Amino acid sequence: MSVQQEPTYGAPGVLPRADYERMLRELSQASVDSHFLPFRDIAWDDPAFAVQPEHDGWVLGPEDNIGASAWYRSLPADRQRAIGRYRLAQICNVGRQFEQMLVAGMMTNHLWMDTANPEFRYATHEATEETHHMQMFGEAIRRMQPDVAGMPRWLKALTPLICLVAAVAPTAFWIMVLAGEEPIDHLQKSALRADHVQHPLPRRVMQIHVAEEARHIGFAHQYLTQRGPALGPVSRVVLAVATPIVMRIACDAIMRPTRAARRAMGMPRSVARQIWWRSPETRTHLADYFAEVRMLADNVGLRPRWVRPLWRLLRIEGRPARFRGEAPTDLA
């Protein structure tokens, strides 16, 4: 059923088959040797992790578009803490729901995959880790803000379509995966690099998530690098157009709180319009989210010159990252 193309081994940037399979075995072994269990590796009942509304660590920093806004900074300290706690729980809830969709797609894809394929073993490790992330996010939400809103309903309703894409067009599916993973990973890395006071509970959740997502994003990048040269001319054109559109739609759906979430935080509509993505600072954030995707698309041949005006129209154009993990401050 899958229309997956086989890699063109020997093409520029494509690892020889033996090296690619060795990398997959190393990734799988890393998941065995170094993995986190949410109810073992987070001290949920440690007094330092207690969810106390008056803790200054709930105040959002400038790495979050809400925390950087003049509206948020003008609020009394107790309102900043309440909104920050809601926002952190909301990001966890969106992450939980996205990873449920991801695992649903991966399991559908696995139905059509030969178990002798090293990608099968690694992908099942990744699915296991994503399930642990769901548990971790779920417990954090239960403690921080149980009634928090998540992603838009229309996006959740697309889960059957995403599963279909995973079955018949895995390359397109992994592009969808990156569209959701890259913005959240960028935001969490920025928060962990920041030097302002942070509550230890969401910080520990972010540390675990970022550590394991490094493997997941690395696999998606390498998978697409391997498959890119084998794309036919029609598939290449379709994916070249679809990639920036999917990136922008997913980013808005995941990073911008829903109307229900904005109401819960007491955010005026005019403030929301400015935060997403009208101010120069937030437009910079938006473009920075996809620096590594631009690098990947260039390497795979999915960002030819004729499609770059679409990236600019969607406000996600900019200099590609020079390497994975490049700090946002290095992109200027």
pLDDT of 68: 92
In a domain, 201, yes or no: yes
In a domain, 200, yes or no: yes
pLDDT of 11: 46
In a domain, 8, yes or no: no
Alpha carbons 273 and 282: distance in angstroms, whole number: 11
Identify the sign of the CA torsion 295, 300, 306, 310. Answer: negative
- Beta-strand runs (E) in 171-294: none
Can you give the residue range of the structural domain that contains 192? 23-322
User: Which residues in the chain land under pLDDT 50?
Assistant: 1-4, 9-12, 330-332
Residue with token string 């769901």: 134
Alpha carbons 232 and 301: distance in angstroms, whole number: 12
pLDDT of 7: 54
CB 180 within 8 A of CB 255: no
In a domain, 240, yes or no: yes
Number of domains in the chain: 1
pLDDT of 60: 96
Tokens of 36: 């986190």
In a domain, 59, yes or no: yes
pLDDT of 178: 94
pLDDT of 2: 43
pLDDT of 112: 85
In a domain, 14, yes or no: no
Q: What b/e readout covers 29-65, taking b as 16+ CB neighbours within 10 angstroms?
A: eebeeebbebeeebeeeeeebebeeebebbbbbbbbb
CATH number at residue 115: 1.10.620.20
pLDDT of 15: 77
pLDDT of 227: 87
218-234 pLDDT per residue, tens: 999 999 999 888 899 99
pLDDT of 6: 53
In a domain, 312, yes or no: yes
In a domain, 303, yes or no: yes
